[in-house]
C-alpha cells in the first residue's frame, strides 16, 4: 500500500539523485594510486561530499550495485576541485572488488558524509598516533588540529617499511614526526606505544592524544595514557551496514552506555571503551568473510 511516507521517501530519493546529477557527482575515479601492495588511494569526483566533509567523517561505498556496503573514511576533501580521497586496505571480498575499478571508471554508490565530525579545538599540544591504514583516517584530524592552532606531534607505525603510508603528507602537517616499524626495516624498531610512553615520561607537555589504527594498537595506546590521565580519543571501526543508526550492527559500549558508532562516533574516549566486546563482535562473520573471498577468487578463475 502506498502511503504519504513512501511518497515523501521517493520524492526525497528522486531529489537527491537529481541534486547529485546537477552537481556532477559522478564518483568517477580521477586518480588511482597504490600506496603499497595492499593499500589503494582513490580520488573521486563528488563535489557534494567534498563541500561538506569534515575531519572524522566517512562514506559508505558499494563497488558493485549488487555488492556489500562498506564504510571508508574521507581521508581528504578538496571543495575547489570537488573531489574526495578514500584510502583502503585490500582485506576481503569488497575491498578486492573496489580495487579492481580503474581510473576513469565510476564507483556505483558513495553515500556520505556520515558520522559525527571529530571535535577539534585548540587543545595546546596534540599527540596523533597512527598505525597501518589507520594513518589514512588520522590525516584529516591531524590537518584540522594543526589548522586550529595546536602544536602537533605525530607518531606513525607500520609492521614493515613498505606498509608505512603517507609519511610525507603527515610530515607536512606535523610539528614533529616520529616513525617506527615493528621489524626495524625503517626508522626506529619497535611499536608506536614505545614512543608514546617515552614522550609522556619526558617533560613533553601533551594535552590530548588521538590514536587510530588496528584495535590492539588503539587499546595499547589507551593503556599507556590512562595512568597519566591524558584524554585519549580513538576512531572505532566495528562492522557497519546502513551507517545511519538504524540496524544496530555497529553497537559498542562506551562508559557503560550503548552507542552506535555510525551516528554517535566513530570517535570515542579510549579509556571508556569496552574493548573485549568490540573484539568479539568484529569476529562474528569471519567464516562468511573467508567464504566470500574464496568465491570471488573462484569467479575470477572461471
Ligand atoms: P571482509 O573480509 O568482509 O572483512 C575483513 C574485516 O573487515 C572483518 O573481519 C571486519 O573486521 C571488517 N569488516 C568487514 N565488513 C565490514 C563492514 N561492513 N564495516 C566495517 N568493518 C567491516 N578501512 C580502510 O581500509 N580504510 C578506511 O578509510 C576505513 N575507514 C573505516 C571507517 C569506519 C567508520 C569503519 C567502521 C571502518 C573503516 N574501515 C576502513 C574498515 C573497512 O570498512 C573494512 O576493512 C571493510 O569493510 C572490509 O571489507 P571486505 O569485504 O574487503 O573484507
Ligand atoms: Fe547500522 Fe550503525 S551501521 S546502526
Ligand atoms: Mg566483506
What's the per-residue H, E or C state across 12-58? HHHHHHHHHHHCCCCCEEEEEEEEECCEEEEEEECHHHHHHCCCCCE
Neighbours of ion ligand 3 (CB under 5 A): 92-94
Quote the ligand 2 centre to 249 CA distance (angstroms).
5
Residues forming beta bridges with residue 29, ordered by sequence position: 44
* Average pLDDT estimate for 44-63: 96
Quote the ligand 2 centre to 288 CA distance (angstroms).
19
**Global confidence as pTM:** 0.92
How far apart CA 59 and CA 1 sit, in angstroms, is 32
* Average pLDDT estimate for 156-182: 96
At 24, the pLDDT band (50, 70, 90 cuts) reads: low
**In order of start, what are the domains of the chain with their CATH numbers?**
2-13+22-114 (2.40.30.10), 125-282 (3.40.50.80)
Looking from the CA of residue 265, the nearest atom of ligand 1 is 34
Q: Is the CB of 246 under 6 A from ligand 2?
A: yes
Quote the ligand 2 centre to 153 CA distance (angstroms).
33
**pLDDT value at residue 1:** 42
What does the chain come to in residues?
302
Residue 116 CA: which ligand is closest?
Answer: 1
**pLDDT value at residue 8:** 53
> Exposed, middle or buried: residue 276 (CB in 10 Å: 0-12, 13-18, 19+)?
exposed
Quote the ligand 1 centre to 222 CA distance (angstroms).
22
CA dihedral 70, 73, 76, 82 (to 10 degrees): 40
Please write the tens of the pLDDT for every residue from 190-225.
999 999 999 999 989 999 999 999 999 999 999 999
Q: Is the dihedral of CA 178, 140, 71, 240 positive or negative?
A: positive
Please write the tens of the pLDDT for every residue from 96-139.
999 999 999 999 999 999 999 999 999 999 999 999 999 999 99
Of residues 242, 262, 271, the one with CA closest to residue 56: 262
pLDDT > 60? residue 229: yes
How far apart CA 96 and CA 18 sit, in angstroms, is 30
Task: Copy the grid coordinates of residue 115.
Answer: 558520522
Q: Is the CB of 258 under 6 A from ligand 2?
A: no
Asked if 251 contacts 293 with a C-beta cutoff of 8 angstroms, the reply is no
Please write the tens of the pLDDT for every residue from 257-301.
999 999 999 999 999 999 999 999 988 888 988 998 888 878 877
Asked if 264 contacts 116 with a C-beta cutoff of 8 angstroms, the reply is yes
Asked if 90 contacts 69 with a C-beta cutoff of 8 angstroms, the reply is no
**pLDDT value at residue 28:** 96
- Within 6 A (CB) of ligand 1 lie 58, 68, 70-73, 87-89, 91-95, 133, 136-137, 237-240, 266, 282, 286, 289, 293
Quote the ligand 1 centre to 239 CA distance (angstroms).
7
> Exposed, middle or buried: residue 21 (CB in 10 Å: 0-12, 13-18, 19+)?
exposed
Looking from the CA of residue 261, the nearest atom of ligand 2 is 2
- Coil, strand or helix: which one is 187? coil
* Average pLDDT estimate for 132-148: 96
Quote the ligand 2 centre to 16 CA distance (angstroms).
21
Amino acid at each position: 500500500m502506498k502511503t504519504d511516507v513512501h511518497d515523501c521517501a521517493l520524492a526525497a530519493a528522486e531529489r537527491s539523485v537529481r541534486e547529485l546529477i546537477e552537481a556532477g557527482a559522478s564518483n568517477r575515479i580521477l586518480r588511482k594510486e597504490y600506496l603499497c601492495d595492499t593499500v589503494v588511494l582513490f580520488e573521486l569526483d563528488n563535489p557534494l561530499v567534498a563541500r561538506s566533509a569534515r575531519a572524522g567523517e566517512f562514506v559508505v561505498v558499494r563497488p558493485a550495485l549488487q555488492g556489500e556496503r562498506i564504510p571508508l573514511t574521507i581521508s581528504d576533501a578538496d571543495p575547489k576541485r570537488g573531489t574526495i580521497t578514500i584510502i583502503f586496505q585490500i582485506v576481503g571480498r569488497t575491498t578486492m572488488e573496489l580495487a579492481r575499478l580503474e581510473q576513469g571508471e565510476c564507483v556505483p554508490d558513495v553515500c556520505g558524509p556520515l558520522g559525527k565530525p571529530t571535535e577539534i579545538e585548540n587543545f595546546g599540544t596534540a599527540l596523533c598516533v597512527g598505525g597501518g591504514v589507520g594513518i589514512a583516517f588520522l590525516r584529516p584530524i591531524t590537518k584540522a588540529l594543526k589548522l586550529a592552532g595546536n602544536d602537533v606531534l605525530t607518531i606513525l607505525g607500520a609492521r614493515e617499511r613498505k606498509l608505512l603510508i603517507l609519511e610525507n603528507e603527515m610530515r607536512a602537517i606535523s610539528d614533529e614526526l616520529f616513525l617506527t616499524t615493528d621489524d626495524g626495516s625503517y626508522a626506529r624498531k619497535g611499536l608506536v606505544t614505545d614512543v608514546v610512553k617515552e614522550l609522556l615520561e619526558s617533560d613533553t607537555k601533551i594535552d590530548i592524544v588521538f590514536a587510530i589504527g588496528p584495535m590492539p594498537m588503539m587499546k595499547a595506546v589507551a593503556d599507556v595514557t590512562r595512568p597519566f590521565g591524558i584524554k585519549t580519543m580513538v576512531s572505532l571501526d566495528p562492522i557497519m551496514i546502513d551507517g545511519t543508526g538504524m540496524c544496530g550492527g555497529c553497537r559498542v559500549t562506551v562508559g557503560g552506555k550503548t552507542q552506535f558508532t555510525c551516528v554517535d562516533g566513530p570517535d570515542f574516549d579510549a579509556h571508556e571503551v569496552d574493548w573485549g566486546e568490540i573484539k568479539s563482535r568484529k569476529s562474528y562473520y569471519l567464516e562468511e568473510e573467508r567464504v566470500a573471498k574464496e568465491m570471488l577468487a573462484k569467479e575470477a578463475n572461471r
